[in-house]
Amino acid sequence: MEDKRLIEVAFPVKAVSEESAREKNIRHGHISTLHIWWARRPLASSRATNYAALIPAPKDEEELERKKRFIAKLSKWESSLDEEVIRRAREDIMEYFRQIRDGPDQERPRVLDPFAGGGSIPLEALRLGLETYALDYNPVAVLILKAVLEYPQKYGKKNGALDKWIAGGKGEGKDYDLLRDVKKWGEWVLQEAKKELERFYPKEEDGHIPVGYIWARTITCQNPACGAEIPLMRQFWLAKKNNRKVALYPHVEGKEVKFRIVGDGYEPMPGDFDPSKGTVKGAKATCPVCGMTHDEKTVRKLFREGRAGQRMVAVVLYHPDKGGKIYRLPTEKDIKAYGEAKRYLEEKRAELMEEWGIDPVPDEPLPPRGTLGFRVQNYGMTKWGDLFNDRQKLALITFAEKVRQAYEMMLDEGYDGEYAKAVMTYLAFGVDRLADYSTTLTRWVVEGEFVSNTFGRNALPIVWDYFEVFPFSNATGDWNSALQWVSRVVEFLVDSIIDSVGKVTHGSATSLQFPDNYFDAVFTDPPYYDNVPYSYLSDFFYVWLKRIIGDLYPELFITPLTPKSKELVAYTQNQDWEAAKRYFEEGMKQALKEIHRVLKPGGVLVLVYAHKTTEGWETLINSLLDSGLVPTASWPIHTERATRLRAKESAALASSIYIVARKIEKQGVGWFDEIKRELRETLEKKLDQLWREGISGADFFISAIGSAIEVFGKYEKVLDYEGNEVRGDRLLQLVRDMVSDYAIRQVLREDISAELSPLAKFYVLWRWTYGEAKVAFDEARKLATSVGLDLEREWNRGFIVKEKEFICVLGPQDRKLKEIKGNDLIDVLHRALLFWQANQKREMVGLLAETGWGEKEVFYKVAQVISEVLPKDSKEKKLLDGFLAGREHIRRAIGKGDYSVFNGEEEPGKQETIERFIKG
């Protein structure tokens, strides 16, 4: 391969990672705030990798460093609107393509993203001056892509590819101004909705405005002697800040649970009251009246049988001229207003059903019970409309109606139909944003006193006490807020340095409707195996969009819900897991073969992947090996905020792997034994580089996979000497073995792994890779195998514990001293730490002397390493740090003699040393 690209030889991983992670904190104008889409790639890494894949490898070290500095600058958020930086990047790309095409009139390089999703990657391709095509199978994603890649470029006042639109009548000669009209008609929708809805939200006479209402779901106590209504609340806090504590105080009068507001600014909080302890935990509910506990099965059954209710428990307000929120209990006026809204809903629902030809409240079914991420079906919610209370339904169908009316008004005023359709799309996104904050699955966040949205994560779990937004509050989650977020993105896109329009297509990546050898590059971020149930989650928005703008996009809304038959995710098959895995692997293989087909000879693919399990990686590797594409490089880019990463719940990746491949000829058969030697050499260099870049933990192993694919992927097939083809599973185990060996050597500063048992190696690697997280059994088994440990022989005998399909590695704080047996390094360390915690220092020194570990440097090195890889708030780390602070005292105490003192015999001179140590 002659014309290597920069991304194939070097990349400023650290600088781009910092910008990508930083970007997660940038909200105003970022396309992620236009409409929810899951697992969107950062603009920073998209812009940087797109550019680095389309310019040549530097001729020397000086040019390389210069290019890396420029890429670091290009990746900054501020550079997205910096004309000089963007112009230089475009010129670099065009100059290179003029050279390789031998012509001064070379057209723009043509690129494709066949899994375009939220639009980050194709937007940055468009910004770099490329002829950009974006495709997605999901209709919601296609609409987002149109709003990001087509409409701002066509109708933005500054960059409009068409400067003016001319229509008959009133609109003749009027300028396009997308931002102006989104704001104008969004305000019109607001005022029209207010006229109809404001009466259902009682006003305060003192000028306070409702932010919204806190509700608790309820069940009847099943104790025949009680029968009280149980408000299901996970906790009773209203505000829980450092300088402000306010709570609902439940008290029983007869057989009724009533509330008072207590805390700062209200009546004193009772001394024996703990607001963090609610009436429900998990799905177990306890009656505050009689104390009876209802198990999960009973609670869910009551919900499914329609025997659950709800109760308004608090109203949250603010004053435009004063700071902070205030709280009050609901009044009869509040309850009456809700009842009036409920009655009006039925009237309006019937009226709109006749007009629209569809129930205005989404009556499409929720996914089947057991669908990844969905739990609400266990509680009797079977339709999408069941996620909203009656007043929320009324508000949403009213806003939907007003947006539809706005379109008719625009046409009456002479607006061009396609332009009005574009404005409508953004207003429909405003309704989607409102819907995201207007379900019975939102929460009042007491630490910040604001409402959280429904999709705080890629799932829809049950919420017991929820928050109902007042849609005219001028606070988080209302219509004004939704419109502002949408408008800011439109403004950013209109101001972007883009002088062409993206081409958005609805279709499947497994059957691309493009000719052979058509694209210079493919940049894409495919689904990650079973990570996100895209189609099922996006149905939430699809059902509302269908009611608002479905008539304007009949080709996108032809199905009752989003299409799923060709969706490339492992969970889509209603078969066993192996069948789902095969479906994903075959689909991914077909998609990559299609990418190979439409790429020009020598064309480049940059593919992003971030699945945390080797099972997910196996399917990708096998698909990539079979596609005909030749992997040439890979780079781990840190794309997540540190605050997102979980600790105990599961092991989360911070990095995504950007894999580079080319459409070039493969070599013939590769022999496994020879490739192992080549892989060891290649991997050692790559691991050194990753180590210097600060990549660690689970990301380190996942990053190494890319380098292994580079070695394997250049052969047509790889065979062992028995003629068996080597596939992704054997490759991954080989990589894990090599990475584990490397990590042990690096983590422990020198090659002392010979002194460690497989158990000790496993413990150190686990803490370094997963911290204190629980991990799926198969992942844990593979890590154990890499250090020569038989996991099934060890679990539930010591610090390795199996919990259902997960493996946990216990720290000393999770174990009982009397139950720790054996003299392996980790067991002795745990016992020593528990002795230290209990201030039993005599016993601790005796243990270390008797086992011999107290005199070995490796013992303290292992303790130090474990401390360094654990987070600051870890209990185990605090124990280790305290213990290590006294290591010299321990060694001196051990060095004084044979410790007969610990058998009850006093020894002259030695007791003084021991006592000095014990006293600290």
Chain segment 244-262, per-residue pLDDT in tens = 999 999 999 999 999 999 9
Q: Which residue has the tokens 């911070």?
A: 654
Predicted confidence band of residue 777 (pLDDT cuts 50, 70, 90): confident
Q: What is the pTM of this model?
A: 0.85
Our separate counts of H helices and E strands in the chain read 28, 25
Q: Is the pLDDT of residue 641 over 70?
A: no
Helix (H, G, I), strand (E, B) or coil at 606: strand
State mean pLDDT over 735-748: 80
Contacts of 363 (CB under 8 A, 6+ apart): 383, 384, 385
* pLDDT at residue 69, as a whole number: 96
Q: Which two three-digit tokens encode residue 475?
A: 């606070």
Count of CB atoms situated within 10 Å of the CB of 282 = 10
In contact, 807 and 774? CB cutoff 8 Å: yes
State mean pLDDT over 149-175: 57
State mean pLDDT over 830-852: 92
Predicted confidence band of residue 573 (pLDDT cuts 50, 70, 90): very low
521 half-sphere exposure, CB direction, 13 A CA radius: 27
* pLDDT at residue 575, as a whole number: 53
* pLDDT at residue 394, as a whole number: 98
Predicted confidence band of residue 161 (pLDDT cuts 50, 70, 90): very low
Predicted confidence band of residue 905 (pLDDT cuts 50, 70, 90): very low
CA dihedral in degrees (486, 489, 494, 500; nearest 10)?
-110
Tell me the C-alpha distance between 698 and 743, whole Å: 11
State mean pLDDT over 393-412: 98
Q: Is the pLDDT of residue 225 over 80?
A: yes
* pLDDT at residue 91, as a whole number: 96
Predicted confidence band of residue 870 (pLDDT cuts 50, 70, 90): confident
* pLDDT at residue 888, as a whole number: 86
State mean pLDDT over 807-815: 93
Q: Distances in Å between the alpha carbon of 691 and those of 311, 688, 743, 819?
A: 55, 5, 9, 38
- Ranked by mean pLDDT, which of 400-404, 653-657, 776-780 comes out on top? 400-404
Q: Is the pLDDT of residue 570 over 70?
A: no
Mean pLDDT (the chain) is 88
In contact, 444 and 214? CB cutoff 8 Å: yes
State mean pLDDT over 174-188: 90
* pLDDT at residue 747, as a whole number: 76
Predicted confidence band of residue 901 (pLDDT cuts 50, 70, 90): very low
State mean pLDDT over 380-401: 97
Name the least confident of 133-147, 302-316, 350-364, 492-506. Answer: 492-506
Question: Strand 503-506 relative to strand 131-136: parallel, antiparallel, unpaired?
Answer: parallel
* pLDDT at residue 577, as a whole number: 66
903 vs 416: which has the higher pLDDT: 416
Predicted confidence band of residue 683 (pLDDT cuts 50, 70, 90): confident
* pLDDT at residue 868, as a whole number: 85
Tell me the C-alpha distance between 228 and 753, whole Å: 63
Q: Is the pLDDT of residue 175 over 70?
A: no
Report CA 871 to chain centroid distance, whole Å.
Answer: 21
In contact, 626 and 5? CB cutoff 8 Å: no
Tell me the C-alpha distance between 175 and 156, whole Å: 10
Q: Distances in Å between the alpha carbon of 84 and those of 54, 462, 646?
A: 19, 50, 40
State mean pLDDT over 727-747: 81
- Ranked by mean pLDDT, which of 59-73, 360-374, 622-636 comes out on top? 59-73
337 vs 920: which has the higher pLDDT: 337
Listing DSSP states for 660-682 in one string gives EEE----EEEEEHHHHHHHHHHH
In contact, 136 and 117? CB cutoff 8 Å: yes
Write phi, then psi, for 881 (nearest 5 degrees): -65, -40
Q: Which two three-digit tokens encode residue 779?
A: 């992942």
Predicted confidence band of residue 2 (pLDDT cuts 50, 70, 90): low
Tell me the C-alpha distance between 447 and 497, whole Å: 40
What share of the chain in percent tops pLDDT 90? Answer: 59
Q: Is the pLDDT of residue 382 over 80?
A: yes
In contact, 424 and 178? CB cutoff 8 Å: no
State mean pLDDT over 884-906: 65
In contact, 75 and 20? CB cutoff 8 Å: yes
Each residue's pLDDT tens digit, 695-733: 777 677 777 877 788 888 888 888 988 888 888 888 888
Residues in the chain: 920
Question: Strand 131-136 relative to strand 209-220: parallel, antiparallel, unpaired?
Answer: unpaired
State mean pLDDT over 384-403: 98
Q: Is the pLDDT of residue 903 over 90?
A: no
Q: Is the pLDDT of residue 179 over 80?
A: yes
What share of the chain in percent tops pLDDT 70? Answer: 90
* pLDDT at residue 666, as a whole number: 87
Q: Is the pLDDT of residue 25 over 50?
A: yes
Predicted confidence band of residue 422 (pLDDT cuts 50, 70, 90): very high
Predicted confidence band of residue 390 (pLDDT cuts 50, 70, 90): very high
Q: Distances in Å between the alpha carbon of 376 and those of 297, 303, 386, 552?
A: 14, 10, 10, 32
Q: Which two three-digit tokens encode residue 195?
A: 């006229």
In contact, 334 and 342? CB cutoff 8 Å: no
* pLDDT at residue 898, as a whole number: 45
Q: Is the pLDDT of residue 858 over 60?
A: yes
In contact, 166 and 173? CB cutoff 8 Å: yes
Each residue's pLDDT tens digit, 67-103: 999 999 999 999 988 999 999 999 999 999 998 876 5
Write phi, then psi, for 380 (nearest 5 degrees): 85, 5
Q: Is the pLDDT of residue 510 over 70?
A: yes
State mean pLDDT over 347-363: 97
